[in-house]
Structure 1
Amino acid sequence: MKKLILGTAILALSAGIASASEVVRMGTEGAYPPYNFINDAGEVDGFERELGDELCKRARLTCEWVTNEWDSIIPNLVSANYDTIIAGMSITKERDEVIDFTQNYTQPDPSGYLALTGSDPDLKGGIIAAQTGTIQAAHIASSGATLVEFATPDETIAAVRNGEADAVLADDAYLRPIAEENDDLEMLKKTELLGGGVGMGLRESDRDLRAKFDAAIASMKADGSLNKLIMKWEIGPGF
């Protein structure tokens, strides 16, 4: 079965693929490790940089990386300021009504709660922080807790430390390293399973480009290279 899937993906990649001269602008946030961040050299780095470069190679596309703040990342895609979103964006029904998605390149990964060490926050009736426009923010808003939103993930952590929020809800892969590196913060036991995994966002009119990236993602799933990247960056369960 894997050989059949791989063969189908290779055929899709080879049929009608654009030449390497086609430039695709890859839009990301650059502020959500390990998915994406800016390294000491001032370059986009992380799981999605490595993944995106490999997808572009397989699809024979020349890609350039563009950073954009999270709260306007979808409007700027629609406005053609870049051609894709590859920024830890979970596939949801609401987003899919505005943009298109490739197949997922991560499995749905639990979202976790981060709080001050030794605290016992009320997750049902307390004040919970989340980044604006995320699936975590939507979940809190419908949970009965009081939602406080911030433009960047760093600000959500600061809100817990300065007492503006009792806890923060975000991807476990983002929060857990922070808890491990800071004695004043800890992960709570409760988790939430949200969204349909992470995929690349594209304009609904760019069906050919979506097909190229879909084929490249499928080929990485089939040959095991996607799972290797997921394990390397400790993103969550593989395929």
Structure 2
Amino acid sequence: MKKILLSAAALALLAGAASAETVRLGTEGAYPPYNYIDDNGEVAGFERVLGDELCKRAELECTWVTNDWDSIIPNLLSGNYDTIIAGMSITDERKEKVDFSQNYTPPSASAYAAMSEGVDVDGGIVAAQASTIQAAHVVETGATLLEFPNFEDSVAAVTSGEADAVLADKDTLMPVVGEGTLMFVGEDVPLGGGIGMAFRKSDPELRAKFDAAIQSMKDDGSLNALIKEWLEDSPTF
């Protein structure tokens, strides 16, 4: 009887250890091609493919959780998921709240898009997604900033005439411009230090596992291949 009880206890410990290795990946699900929700209601995009591969290399069981962008860091800190992989640029301001992995994309361009040429992006009304490096940049230029909770609404503000232009990651604007809805205006704007995964400062071991997995993808060239497949003209490592 004691042996049976011991075996049951051992199995419980093993199950607990296994569940402890289940990592919840938090993303927005509304920022294509980085992350979006497909027709089956599943998280898809560059970061879905990347995140699944990183979990495989780190030997972690992972699940995906979606969260609105404006509360994505607070909900990481409150424990609703274990890491953020959501097109989040590495900035000094964000480093005060979270720790970042090494970047899994190099610094890339942001861009303005509008309905027509000749828009005054420095003195006009510019839309951007709230709590982004693009929104902060608009304020610095002196333009009037209109903030929106997601990328789609910031684009809609331009097409409806509410804003003169939108500033966003150029990769994200590419499909919109390709459809002929908007056109690029002005010069590209280099912002941020590349995109990385965000972690609670109390989880250095988890961050180290993903850091190692990202580095392995850089080393074997698979990360560059993924960037070329999903992010078109973005720089590679």
TM-score (norm 2): 0.90
1-structure distance, mates of 2:189, 2:89? 14
Matched, 1:165 2:167: no
2-structure distance, mates of 1:33, 1:221? 22
**Residue from 210, 213, 225 that aligns with 1:213:** 210
Contact 2:70–2:131 (CA under 8 A) maintained in structure 1: yes
Matched, 1:176 2:170: no
CA-CA distance at 1:234 after TM superposition = 2.0
Runs of at least 5 residues in structure 2 that lack an aligned partner in the other structure: 1-16
1-structure distance, mates of 2:182, 2:35? 22
Corresponding residue for residue 221 of structure 2: 224
Contact 1:19–1:61 (CA under 8 A) maintained in structure 2: no
SS at match of 2:157: helix
2-structure distance, mates of 1:150, 1:20? 37
1-structure distance, mates of 2:228, 2:192? 20
Corresponding residue for residue 83 of structure 1: 82
Counterpart AA for 2:178 = E
**Greater Rg, structure 1 or structure 2?**
2
2-structure distance, mates of 1:185, 1:97? 36
Provide runs of 4+ in structure 1 moved above 2 Å.
18-21
Corresponding residue for residue 126 of structure 1: 124
SS at match of 1:142: helix
Matched, 1:135 2:124: no
CA-CA distance at 1:115 after TM superposition = 0.3
Corresponding residue for residue 57 of structure 1: 56
Counterpart AA for 1:219 = S
Corresponding residue for residue 39 of structure 1: 38
Contact 1:34–1:47 (CA under 8 A) maintained in structure 2: yes
TM-score (norm 1): 0.90
CA-CA distance at 1:184 after TM superposition = 3.8
Contact 2:119–2:185 (CA under 8 A) maintained in structure 1: no
**Residue from 192, 196, 210 that aligns with 1:195:** 192
Contact 1:59–1:212 (CA under 8 A) maintained in structure 2: yes
Counterpart AA for 1:147 = L
What per-residue deviation string (whole Å, max 9, x for no partner) do you get for residues 9-58 of structure 1? xxxxxxxxx86861000000000000000001110000000000000000
What per-residue deviation string (whole Å, max 9, x for no partner) do you get for residues 157-215 of structure 1? 1100111110000000000111111x341112411100000000000000000000000
**Residue from 201, 206, 221 that aligns with 1:204:** 201
Contact 2:25–2:85 (CA under 8 A) maintained in structure 1: yes
Contact 1:21–1:62 (CA under 8 A) maintained in structure 2: no
Q: How many residues align?
A: 220
Counterpart AA for 1:225 = S
Counterpart AA for 2:227 = I
2-structure distance, mates of 1:113, 1:72? 25
